[in-house]
Amino acid sequence: MNAFLEWFLSSVASVDPLLRIGLAGLAILLETSVLVGLVVPGDSIVLVAATGATSTEEYLVLILVVVIGALIGETIGYFLGHYFGPAIQHSRLGRWVGHKNWTAAERFLDHRGGWAVFISRFLPVLHSLVPLTAGIIGMRYGRFIAWTAPACILWASVYVTVGRSAALSFEAMAESLHFAGYIFVGVIVLFILVMTVVKKSLDKYVKKSESREN
């Protein structure tokens, strides 16, 4: 396990930092702007990119680029929804998303407003639909960006910090512990499980809140 992880981490680190950081930012941009997040999870790409952020400077730049990518993506999603919302909803992709999910996103925003924008960054499905839906229902862009910006900063900081910390911890333990690789994998798996539980808990809370108000 140690040998495999040393190869994997060195392979990630060998990628040009600008390319690695740029790909992470692009993945998040696409995730929130054109529904790519429903198919390819940008959080996985960010975690992998973070394992190669060995210096403090690269760590901070990665967080900054991921935040910028998320904000650009959510801005694109917002204005796509504002100008082309109905056409997107009735397109083949929109029908694949499903009327139920579009309705859920609209009700969520109607009932929770800016708070819904913040929480959606941490929810499955809704994190890709809310920017588009915010544009569709006519939420002011200033209000939308004011709520999504802190959510993007928090999300990016958590994911990049976990990825980088796990990689640095493995490198520190690899020479003295033969099972260091299992600890690394355990930390990543535990983080993913915790985030999955948090997302599902938030999702259940939102659905219960919606059902009470309806």
pLDDT in tens, 38-59: 666 788 889 889 989 889 999 9
Sign of CA dihedral 100, 105, 108, 111: negative
- CA–CA separation, 40 vs 18, rounded Å? 22
Task: Encode pLDDT of 7-49 as tens digits.
Answer: 667 788 888 999 999 999 998 988 877 666 666 678 888 988 9
**pLDDT score, position 84:** 92
Among 108, 75, 115, smallest CA distance to 209 is for: 108
Among 72, 102, 70, 101, smallest CA distance to 85 is for: 102
pTM: 0.81
> Residue 38 — left, alpha, or beta (φ > 0 → left; ψ -120 to 50 → alpha)?
alpha
